[in-house]
Amino acid sequence: MKYTQPNLPYSNDALAPVISAETIDYHYGKHEKAYIDNLNKLIVGTEFEDMELEDVIRHAKGALFNNASQAWNHIFYFFSLSPDGGGQPDGALGEAIKTQFGSFDKFKEAFEDAGAKLFGSGWVWLSKDDDGKLVITQESNAGNPMTSGLTPILTFDVWEHAYYIDYRNMRAAYLKRLWDLVDWDIIESRYES
């Protein structure tokens, strides 16, 4: 199976000023493309060659896992964002957040804190377990909560290439601004599926 990089559902400058066109060009145009290209080279002739990408992530190790997971993580991240995003969820996910975290603001604070405090590069995730309970996790490098049996709902990329052009070393400022882009309709649908 050959994996392809989907076109973004918005133009490269559509997320500005939160995420600049230059960041999109490098982050999605170059970094994500490299993960897809490497994945397609590494998977040839392996037992994973005809698997869905999620299954490769759950079972592969080493370089194949890293490139498969980074390819998936970036698509998941970029397709969670919209120039018309922002606000907060108002359906079942919104209720679950209020129940588990006390309020949407307390959830945002916990999520940002987890992302800001992750040492080095990686991802901060909101996922659900098999009982529908929400979980915030930190994953280093290419980590993905699917490997722990969780279902990802939302992620913020905390690799430096996600924010350095626009925010330099101010990861916390970047995390705070991303809420203006979150497409809660997409996130809600992931929670409910």
pLDDT at 184: 98
What's the rounded mean pLDDT across residues 17-41?
A: 98
| pLDDT tens digits, one per residue of 71-107 | 999 999 999 999 999 999 999 999 999 999 999 999 9
| pLDDT averaged over every residue in the chain | 97
Alpha carbon dihedral 89, 134, 179, 118, in 10-degree steps, equals: 180
What's the rounded mean pLDDT across residues 146-160?
A: 98
CATH 3.40.1160.10 correct for 92-192: no
176 CB-near residues (< 8 Å, 6+ apart) = 112
Q: Topology of 21-78 in CATH?
A: Helix Hairpins (1.10.287)
Determine the Cα–Cα distance for residues 72 and 52; give it in Å rounded to an integer: 11
pLDDT at 4: 96
What's the rounded mean pLDDT across residues 126-150?
A: 97
Determine the Cα–Cα distance for residues 156 and 85; give it in Å rounded to an integer: 14
Percent of the chain, pLDDT > 70? 100
Q: Where are the domains of the chain?
A: 21-78, 92-192
pLDDT at 1: 83
pTM for the whole thing?
0.97
What's the rounded mean pLDDT across residues 128-157?
A: 97
